[in-house]
């Protein structure tokens, strides 16, 4: 009887341990289920905001000091530009008209074009890779074309040619940055990204898609343009000011379109690759698609060397990937 009791007692102890183990497994399983299904569960804070190996939003003290996600890079119908930002912007090319004229022009703008920019939103299951393609002469012979075309977003600047230079610069263009004096026709799938420096630039955009533009500027301007008006985007003057004051520390008259394109990419992309920036081997700021007549050509009002140094610093910190050519 005693031996039976001991055996029975031992069996009960084993059963108790199994029950405890089963309970622990159930609790663990429930916790894992909750982690995956409850939107507010603490584990979610560790998920990447994108599917890249490294997202730009991840902690980088120097980048976080400069990258202000609160600054809207593009104008929209429901955005109101602060008057102090307008007053900064109007000095860029000696705009004489007032804030009221600017607001009226923007209202007309969004009667013709989409009320909000066409942007790919950040998601944890997607990596938005962007190639920003400058026009530097160091692209000649680089054979970067296939690498550039591999990216989801390919941003080209002003009149950067692709025809005849496909091996070095690729063929794909999803966004073309321009201002009226550098405008060119686009295919139906390319975003026209207007960098406006004065009210007349906004008026040009409206008239180039309708009646035709007849105003004058420091350089010839296309009267009409072929492009998809549903893919038009206009940069925010406050964004230009932010790039000049925060990134360039007010050096130079104002940022170049090329440098603003890089900072824009940091705002709208998860992973940024930069091509075609910097002077050529002779120290000239030449273009890959033309022969440079002025051998002392520099960057005018723009602090080209300083902008280039910042890009190199971003590359050194692995915030972006920089391809310097061959």
Flag whether 36 is marked binding: no
- What phi and psi values does residue 119 have, to the nearest 5 degrees? -120, 145
Flag whether 244 is marked binding: no
Flag whether 308 is marked binding: no
| DSSP assignment of 260-320 | HHHHHHHHH-SEEEEES-S--TTS---BTTS--S-TT---TTS-HHHHHHHHHHHHHTTSS
- The strand pairing partners of 272, in sequence order, are 130
Scanning the chain, the segments in alpha helix (DSSP H) are 2-37, 61-66, 83-89, 99-112, 145-149, 166-169, 199-208, 237-242, 257-268, 304-316
- What phi and psi values does residue 124 have, to the nearest 5 degrees? -70, -15
Q: Which of 175, 191, 273, 302 is catalytic?
A: 302
Nearest to 274 by CA among 124, 139, 177: 139
Flag whether 254 is marked binding: yes
Alpha-carbon separation of residue 105 from 110, 111, 204, 264 (angstroms)? 9, 10, 11, 24
Flag whether 158 is marked binding: yes
The reply to whether 273 belongs to the active site is no
Contact indicator for 305, 162 with CB cutoff of 8 Å: no
Flag whether 78 is marked binding: no
**Helix, strand, coil proportions of the chain in percent (round to 5)?**
40, 10, 50
The reply to whether 99 belongs to the active site is no
Flag whether 138 is marked binding: no
Q: Which of 254, 277, 288, 323 is catalytic?
A: 254
The DSSP output letter for 86 is: H
| Residue 246 to residue 67: CA distance in whole angstroms | 9
Sign of CA dihedral 243, 187, 168, 181: negative
Known binding-site positions for substrate: 93, 135, 158, 218, 254, 258, 278, 287, 302
Annotated catalytic residues are 254, 302
Known binding-site positions: 93, 135, 158, 218, 254, 258, 278, 287, 302
């Amino acid at each position: 009887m005693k031996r039976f009791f001991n055996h029975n007692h031992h069996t009960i102890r084993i059963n108790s341990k199994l029950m405890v183990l089963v309970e622990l497994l159930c609790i663990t399983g429930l916790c894992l289920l909750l982690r995956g299904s409850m939107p507010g569960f603490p584990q979610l804070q560790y998920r990447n905001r994108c599917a890249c190996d490294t997202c730009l939003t991840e902690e980088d003290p120097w980048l976080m000091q400069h990258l202000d996600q609160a600054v809207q890079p593009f104008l929209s119908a429901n955005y109101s530009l602060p008057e102090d930002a307008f007053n900064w912007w109007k000095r860029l090319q000696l705009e004489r008209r007032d804030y009221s004229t600017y607001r009226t022009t923007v209202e007309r703008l969004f009667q013709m074009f989409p009320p909000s920019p066409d942007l790919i939103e950040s998601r944890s299951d997607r990596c938005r890779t962007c190639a920003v393609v400058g026009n530097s002469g160091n692209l000649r012979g680089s054979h970067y074309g296939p690498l550039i075309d591999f990216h989801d977003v390919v941003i080209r600047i002003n009149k950067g040619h692709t025809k005849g230079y496909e091996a070095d610069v690729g063929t794909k263009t999803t966004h073309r940055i321009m201002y009226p004096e550098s405008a060119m026709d686009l295919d139906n799938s390319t975003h026209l990204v207007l960098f406006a420096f004065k009210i007349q630039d906004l008026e040009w955009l409206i008239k180039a898609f309708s009646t035709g533009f007849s105003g004058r500027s420091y350089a010839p301007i296309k009267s009409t343009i072929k492009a998809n008006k549903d893919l038009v985007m206009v940069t925010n003057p406050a964004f230009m000011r932010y790039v000049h004051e925060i990134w360039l520390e007010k050096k130079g008259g104002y940022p170049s379109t090329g440098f603003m394109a890089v900072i824009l990419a940091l705002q709208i992309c998860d992973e940024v690759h930069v091509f075609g920036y910097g002077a050529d081997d002779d120290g000239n700021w030449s273009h890959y698609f033309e022969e440079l007549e002025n051998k002392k050509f520099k960057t005018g009002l723009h602090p080209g060397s300083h902008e280039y140094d910042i890009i190199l610093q971003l590359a050194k910190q692995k915030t972006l990937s920089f391809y310097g050519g061959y």
